Each structure stands twice: as structure tokens, then as C-alpha cells.
Amino acid sequence: MVERSQFAEFESRSKRADALEDIGSNTSPGETIGDIIGRRFNRRDVLRGALTATALATLPGYALLNPDEALAQAAAKAAFDFKEVTAGSDENHVIAEGYDADILIRWGDPVLPGAPGFDPLKQTAAAQKLQFGYNNDFVGYLPMPGAANGSQHGLLCVNHEYTNEELMFPGMGGPQQIKKNAFSKMTKELAEIEMAAHGGAVIEIKKDNGKWQVVPNSKYARRIDANTPMDITGPAAGHARMKTKADPDGRRVLGMVNNCAGGMTPWGTWLTCEENFNGVFWGSADGHPEAAKLRRYGAPSNQYNWGAYFDRFDVAKEPNEPNRFGWILEIDPLDPASTPKKRTALGRVKHEGAAGATSKDGRYVVYTGDDERFDYVYKFVTAGKIDPANRAANLDLLDNGTLFVAKYNADGSGEWLPLVFGQGPLTAEKGFTSQADVLIDARLAGDALGATKMDRPEDVEASPATGKVYVMLTNNTSRKPGQEDAANPRANNKFGHIIEMSPEDGDHASTRFRWEVLVRCGDMSDPKVGATFNPATTKDGWFGMPDNLAFDSRGRLWVATDGMSKKSAGRNDGLWAIETEGALRGTSKGFYRVPEGAEMCGPCFTPDDETLFLAVQHPGEGDEAAGEGSFENPATRWPDFKPDMPPRPSIVVITRKGGGKIA
């Protein structure tokens, strides 16, 4: 989620940003090859192509070669093999030559039996509950147990992160107009459609005759939305601060909202996490019994007016309801009757994702970023071990364990600090009276522990090949000169950066790590930007605002971006392949770009790397000042391109023409 949430965050964050205590050191540890070449590049005003070869020839391993040979040898070691797409902005999407990009499912397409055909002018909440929701974000693939080919038949778990009233409903105007008009065009019925379009979906999909299709009337098909009953489990379940009028036990909540990225566990469950939940809360923190805690989460931020119709979203009427959102959920896609569980042991923040890895001794480790300016990177380590032979034994593994927050030291070392009640500053004196408090107020616990304030941590995920953990830091234009630190080295960080962490002893349960910046993102041709892509990257290959990431089965890194447009970057968002090893480390290439107004989400490969699923979110957003980006005048009508059909967030399937592994 970009513009809308960023705008709201900017408002809600400005006070906190002013109070920041970061002392800028601006000392970048462990320079990468990209850093070194980038510095030379900035200093020399020569043609980039010639410089690339010359710079490479000065690097270890290439020093004895002439520049042309150095370049040729480095290129031969590239991990990716495809012709990059030209950077730009179009109403349609663009895929690298030699690949097909097909639409699998769109907003409004049927998921459950009886779903009516999609009619944007006659939409109802009842129809939406049976149809694919809005703004698909995370995509997880689970091979169908027992399938003849698990890479050609499986379940897709998809998050529906949020809704765009201005693109979904006629007559609303643009997003700023909607807020300016105090939601005067909204109705309870439209709010109910929005609630039904949030959440997630499980669909069964199969590749027949070379084409992927949704299996109709699958017994696994499921829609989960902002009113689906769910259990609250783990240390905060039943705590007084989790109780409401509708739920005096504090163990049952209706719905999940703003589910951004996520992960799939080795035991085949779907982790989906609530991000900008503060947006669905209505009213003011003034007069709230826990006003300061509410404000630390930016709630309420009145991005939706559901609270005008439903008391539980009005913080004056139901003060504890915000405590019941902002969690990581676990859902069993193989059991459509199962109740989703909010796993409180993993802490309450504005979670971007929840990607896991296994520790050396077999415990499960979930990495997550808290996507807010100056917020933190976390991981959770289970107390118990995964039992590969007994799926049922793993189903509540995530209720017990330790949550940690990351501290990045300037010397390239780092520590994971435990969020455990009674340890360090997490005591009654500091306002924490139980582990439930520590988890409900995880941000405040991170503050007390002195965690490193990051430039909006999005996806955090470990490479299955090397065990190195990659952190997408999407941007932070609120970081002022003097607030830079080693891990967040740029003030007014418009384009973000990527940090690479190496757990001590290669063990994801370790409390220590080494880290370095893989790449500072942005336009390499503008020295003021300070981007550090490997100069083997072409003018088309650089990107900004890294958000989601995926690894293919070979452990190659793919990055999805959120926030680039013709206006902000001269190019749309997309999926980028970035080298992480060898002399080409830090070289990026564009593989796919989204249509106008969209962001790129959900990259996900089948186990055989022959299919790549992508999620195109909010196509059609546009320049509101220019009258663009509304139901009547979207920036694109992708993917249908019919005059009476609004743009539709969709899942795209990428395959290689004639078959074979991707890239």
C-alpha cells in the first residue's frame, strides 16, 4: 500500500519523527563491490558503459584482464538469463521477451459456488463475499498433497490488502476528495462491500494443456474477510486489554484487515499479517484510556469510515478493538472449515510479512518488518521444534516462543533483543505488566530496548540457498540530515535500500548477526541520489522502493517494488532480478512491469521454477490533481480494457513460451 497509507503515516508520524534520537554516524560498514564501483562512477564523468568495464577490471579476480574481457567474463557469471524489459510507463503490463503473462483471476471473479458474475455497478457485499477480493498482495503456493505433479496443481493463498473506494465505486472522486468530503458519498452498504473485499482467498488451481486455470467449485475454495470469526491464541489471548462488549473473553475477533505480505510454513499453513490496521479505526485518540499507546500505532487514522456504521471500529465506543488487530494469522488452507488464528506470540505491529526459515536445531523462525517510518525489524523463534512427520503437532507451534527486535551496530555486527516480560527494561516500572502487554505494545517494547529505527521495513526473508536474510527498506522521506545511521545511511531516503544479514553460524535462531547494505536504490545516473547498484546495471535496470521479495528454488533474489511511476521515477513498478553473489553482485534487471498506477506484489514460484505468480495491486491509481485515478477516469482499465469496466487487481501467471524454468 503506498500513497494513501504513506500520506496518513506522514501525518501521524511527524511528531514522533521530530522526537527521534538517532545520532547519525554515516559510516557504512563492509562496502560492497557495488559501493566501490558506485563511488568511482560518481567521481568520473565518463560514459557509463566504458566505465563499467574499466571499473570491473580493477576488481579482485578481474585485475589482470583488459576492460572488455572483464565485462564479458562478469556477464558470463550472471545468475539470471533473460532479456530485460525497457523501463517505462504504459496502460498495459510488460513481460520480458520469451515469456507469457496471463491473467489467472481478477477482482470480482468467482471463488465460491453461487458467486454472481461481476457487475461493478450492481456490486453487493453478499456477492463480494463469494468473489475474489480487492488489492491482491501476498501470494503463497501450496502444492496439492498427493498431486501427480505438485508444480502443476496446488492451492493459492492470496491476501486482499485494502480497498480503493475511488476506483471501486462510481461517483466518489479521488481519495483526497473522499476524505475532504468526509466520506459523504459512502454508505453502510458500500462499507460492507469494502469489508467483504478485504482479507484473503484460497483457490485451487491446475495447469491443463499448458494453461493455468482456477478449479471451479473446489472444496478448498475459501474467502476470508473483515467479518470472518477468528480465534485469538497465544500469550495475549484472554487478556483484559483484548476484551470487548462483543467478546467478553478476549479470545474471538471478527475479521482480518490490511493483510499485506505473509508466508507459507513447512507444514503447509498460510501466515498472513495485518499491516495498516490503524486505517480502519475511526474517531480520535483524544480521551481514549490508552491514548499514547494508540498513537504509537497511528490509530485511529480514519482511512475508512466503517466506524460510522459499526461501533467496534469507533475507538470511543470500543476502546480495546484496536488491540485485536495488527497480528500475524495462521490459516490452514487444507481445512476450509478451520478457524483462522491470530497468533499473539509473534507480536502486534504493522506487519508487512511473515516469512520463515528453520533453525539448525529444527525450530521455526519467522521474520517480519514493521512497515512504518523509523520502525523495526523483528523475528520470532518457536520454543518447540518442527515435527516433519506429524503435521498436526506443528499446528500450534507458533503459540510459544520468543519475539526479538533487531539492533544494527555501526561496525556491521547486530543483535536480536528479546521481547520478554521482566527482562531488561520490559518491567512494570516501564509500563509492562505481563507478556501480553509486551506483545500488544511490541512497538513500545522495541522503543524501550533501543532497537534500530529503520526506513520502513517491508519484506524480510531468508535465502534458501545461502541462509542470508534480506530486508527490504522501502523509503523514508522523513529521515532528516543528521538522522542517518549505518543501517539507514541516507536522509530523505526516497528510493529505499536493501540490507543483507548473515546469522551467526548460519543459524536463524542465533541472537547475533553480521549485516551490510546490498544496494542503495534509485536512479544511478543522478549522483545526488547516491544509488549503489553495480554499474553493470543498465539505465533500464535500476529500481526504487523495494517491497516484496521472493527466492526461486535456486535461491536467486527477486524484488517487487511499490511506489515508482512515470512521475516519481520515470518508470512503473515491477519485478526485478538482482544478483547477490560474485562480481555482478548488486546488478539489477527488470523482468516485468505493472500497468499505470499499480504496485507489484506477491512474487511466488512453483517448486519447479516453471511458473511465477505475480499480484498486480491497485491498477489505475493516478494523479488526482489532474482528475485521474477515479472510477470514471482510471489511469488504466487493465486488464479488461473495456470502457464500462474499472481496472481490476489481478493475479498474473508468468510462464516461459514453450515451457521451461524461468530466467
User: Which residues contact ligand FEO by CB under 6 A?
Assistant: 1, 161, 260, 275, 352, 371, 458, 547
* Residue where the block lists cell 554516524: 25
- Which option in ligand FEO, Ca ion, none does residue 549 bind, with CB closer than 5 to 8 A by kind? none
Q: How far is the CB of 521 from ligand FEO (least distance, A)?
A: 15
562 near Ca ion, rule: CB under 5 A: yes
Question: Which of these segments, 99-107, 258-266, 501-509, 619-627, binds Ca ion (CB under 5 A)?
Answer: 258-266
Q: Measured from the CB atom, is 415 or 599 closer to ligand FEO?
A: 599
Q: How far is the CB of 194 from Ca ion (least distance, A)?
A: 16
Q: Measured from the CB atom, is 302 or 474 closer to ligand FEO?
A: 474
Q: Measured from the CB atom, is 192 or 547 closer to ligand FEO?
A: 547
Q: Measured from the CB atom, is 166 or 458 closer to ligand FEO?
A: 458
Q: Measured from the CB atom, is 157 or 386 closer to ligand FEO?
A: 157
DSSP-based three-state secondary structure for 516:
strand
Q: Where are the alpha helices (DSSP H) in 322-424?
A: 391-394
**Cα atoms in the Cβ-side hemisphere of radius 13 Å centred on 71:** 13
* Residue 202, φ and ψ in degrees, nearest 5: -115, 125
- Which option in Ca ion, ligand FEO, none does residue 579 bind, with CB closer than 5 to 8 A by kind? none
- Which option in ligand FEO, Ca ion, none does residue 275 bind, with CB closer than 5 to 8 A by kind? ligand FEO
What gap in Å lies between CA 387 and CA 397, rounded to an integer? 10
For residue 636, give the nearest of 17, 79, 90, 253 by alpha carbon: 90
417 near Ca ion, rule: CB under 5 A: no
What is the total residue count of the chain?
A: 663
Q: Measured from the CB atom, is 257 or 345 closer to Ca ion?
A: 257
What gap in Å lies between CA 599 and CA 98, rounded to an integer? 23
- Which option in ligand FEO, Ca ion, none does residue 192 bind, with CB closer than 5 to 8 A by kind? none
Q: How far is the CB of 579 from Ca ion (least distance, A)?
A: 23
* C-alpha cell of residue 217: 467449485
What gap in Å lies between CA 172 and CA 551, rounded to an integer? 40
What gap in Å lies between CA 140 and CA 201, rounded to an integer? 11
* Residue 205, φ and ψ in degrees, nearest 5: -130, 150
Neighbours of 380 (CB within 10 A): 22
* C-alpha cell of residue 426: 520490559
Q: Measured from the CB atom, is 166 or 437 closer to Ca ion?
A: 166
Q: How far is the CB of 190 from Ca ion (least distance, A)?
A: 22
Q: How far is the CB of 255 from ligand FEO (least distance, A)?
A: 17
Which one among 221, 260, 354, 663 touches Ca ion, defined by CB under 5 A? 260
- Give, in order, the Cα–Cα distances in Å from 543 to each of 465, 565, 652: 24, 11, 21
Residue 265 in contact with residue 285, Cβ under 8 Å?
A: no
Q: How far is the CB of 116 from Ca ion (least distance, A)?
A: 27
Q: Measured from the CB atom, is 399 or 547 closer to ligand FEO?
A: 547
Q: Measured from the CB atom, is 152 or 565 closer to ligand FEO?
A: 565
Residue 38 in contact with residue 533, Cβ under 8 Å?
A: yes
Q: How far is the CB of 207 from ligand FEO (least distance, A)?
A: 29
Q: Measured from the CB atom, is 371 or 573 closer to ligand FEO?
A: 371
Which one among 547, 552, 579, 621 touches Ca ion, defined by CB under 5 A? 547
The C-alpha angle 635, 637, 642, rounded to 5 degrees, equals 145
Give the per-residue contact string, 113-142, with Ca ion (x = CB under 5 A; - = no). ------------------------x-----
Q: Measured from the CB atom, is 205 or 594 closer to ligand FEO?
A: 594
Count of residues that interact with Ca ion, criterion CB under 5 A: 6
CA 531 to the chain's CA centroid: 22
1 near Ca ion, rule: CB under 5 A: yes
What gap in Å lies between CA 294 and CA 156, rounded to an integer? 35
Say which residues have a Cβ less than 8 Å from residue 545's Cβ, sequence separation at least 6. 2, 474, 475, 495, 496, 521, 561, 562, 563, 564, 573
- Which option in ligand FEO, Ca ion, none does residue 330 bind, with CB closer than 5 to 8 A by kind? none
Q: How far is the CB of 636 from ligand FEO (least distance, A)?
A: 21
Give the per-residue contact string, 79-118, with Ca ion (x = CB under 5 A; - = no). ----------------------------------------
What gap in Å lies between CA 598 and CA 1, rounded to an integer? 10
Q: Pairing relation of β-strands 252-254 and 259-264?
A: unpaired
For residue 455, give the nearest of 415, 485, 500, 419 by alpha carbon: 485
- Which option in ligand FEO, Ca ion, none does residue 507 bind, with CB closer than 5 to 8 A by kind? none
Return the residue nearest Ca ion (CB atom). Answer: 562
Q: Pairing relation of β-strands 211-214 and 650-656?
A: unpaired
- Which option in Ca ion, ligand FEO, none does residue 447 bind, with CB closer than 5 to 8 A by kind? none
473 near Ca ion, rule: CB under 5 A: no
Query: Which DSSP string do the residues of 596-614 spell out, in sequence order?
Result: TT-EEEEEEE-TTSSEEEE
Q: How far is the CB of 113 from ligand FEO (least distance, A)?
A: 31
Q: How far is the CB of 127 from ligand FEO (least distance, A)?
A: 26
Long-range contacts of residues 248-253, Cβ cutoff 8 Å, at least 24 apart: 250/320, 253/229, 253/324, 253/325, 253/342
Q: How far is the CB of 260 from ligand FEO (least distance, A)?
A: 3
573 near Ca ion, rule: CB under 5 A: no
Q: Measured from the CB atom, is 110 or 175 closer to Ca ion?
A: 175
- Which option in ligand FEO, Ca ion, none does residue 415 bind, with CB closer than 5 to 8 A by kind? none
* C-alpha cell of residue 620: 489505475
Q: Tell me the helices (H) and strands (E) count for the chain, helix number first.
A: 13, 31
Positions in the binding site for Ca ion (CB under 5 A): 1, 137, 161, 260, 547, 562
